[in-house]
Amino acid sequence: MHLLEALNWRYAVKQFSNHTLEETRLHTLLEATRLSPSAYGLQPYKLLLVEDQALRAELVTHSYDQQKVLHSSHLLVFAACRDIGSEFIREHMTRLHAARQLDEAAHQGMQQHYQLVLVDQPNTEQRQQWIRDQTFLALGNLLTSAALLQIDTCPMTGIIPEQYDRLLELEPHGLTTLATVTLGFRHPHDDYASQPKVRLGMEELVMRVPA
Ligand SMILES: Cc1cc2nc3c(=O)[nH]c(=O)nc-3n(C[C@H](O)[C@H](O)[C@H](O)COP(=O)(O)O)c2cc1C
């Protein structure tokens, strides 16, 4: 499927069928998401693949009763880091060094820069917003990748993050729920599949400068 065809094919699925997404296609989708870019490549988030059906059933009640949390093939939770500190930067530097063998000066320079612009930056609110931005970027990439792989999805922020955090025991891991994505295959009776897209026109969205 070509890109625009895939993006017109995809929609936020309301009702999933009971077909299970094969492990190989799921793996490709997760790999595409893993390759998502993030500022400085820091990836301040985790993806939780919730495989416990009883837990998924419980999460429905904390998702405004959206049944797809249980009745889709897979449930992914995008969890953002609650904050990032020096240890997080050090771990990133270790990965960077292992992949690119930085010399000592470059290593020190980058580590100091990340420390200065992120960790030592006193506005926690701003840093948390930055973390959330990175997480949503990965979510967006997952949606596009899924469309190209012909995997149906529904991104969801209609959830109660605090309750997800509690049930998934995220706080001790320094994580907090941002959004979920249900994955699988659309139910043949899901009427939303045939609804026309509602989007800004190209001329409304794209502003040429100068006009
Ligand atoms: C961040 C985000 C959160 C969303 N939350 C929900 C949700 O909780 N439940 C739902 O059914 N759809 C949800 N949607 C789907 C949007 O309503 C849908 O993407 C939008 O109306 C455009 O329609 P389309 O994706 O079907 O083309 C969400 C979409 C995004 C991007």
Dihedral, 193, 196, 198, 202 alpha carbons, nearest 10: 120
Does the residue 197 lie in any domain? yes
Task: Compute, in angstroms, the gap from residue 153 CA to the centroid of ligand 1.
Answer: 10
Which pTM was predicted? 0.97
> CATH no. for residue 147?
3.40.109.10
Domain count, the chain: 1
Does the residue 74 lie in any domain? yes
pLDDT of residue 122: 87
Task: Compute, in angstroms, the gap from residue 100 CA to the centroid of ligand 1.
Answer: 39
Q: Is the pLDDT of residue 130 over 90?
A: yes
53-102, pLDDT tens digit by residue? 999 999 999 999 999 999 999 999 999 999 999 999 999 999 999 999 99
- Residue located nearest, by CA, to atom 6 of ligand 1: 156
Task: Compute, in angstroms, the gap from residue 169 CA to the centroid of ligand 1.
Answer: 26
pLDDT of residue 57: 98
Task: Compute, in angstroms, the gap from residue 36 CA to the centroid of ligand 1.
Answer: 20
Strands across the sheet with 74-81, in order? Answer: 45-50, 74-81, 175-184, 152-156
pLDDT of residue 22: 98
Please indicate whether residue 161, judged by its CB atom, sits closer than 6 Å to ligand 1: no
Rounded Cα distance, 3 and 6, in Å: 5
Does the residue 211 lie in any domain? no
pLDDT band at 125 (very low <50, low <70, confident <90, very high): very high
* Host domain of residue 49: 3-205
- Residue located nearest, by CA, to atom 30 of ligand 1: 155
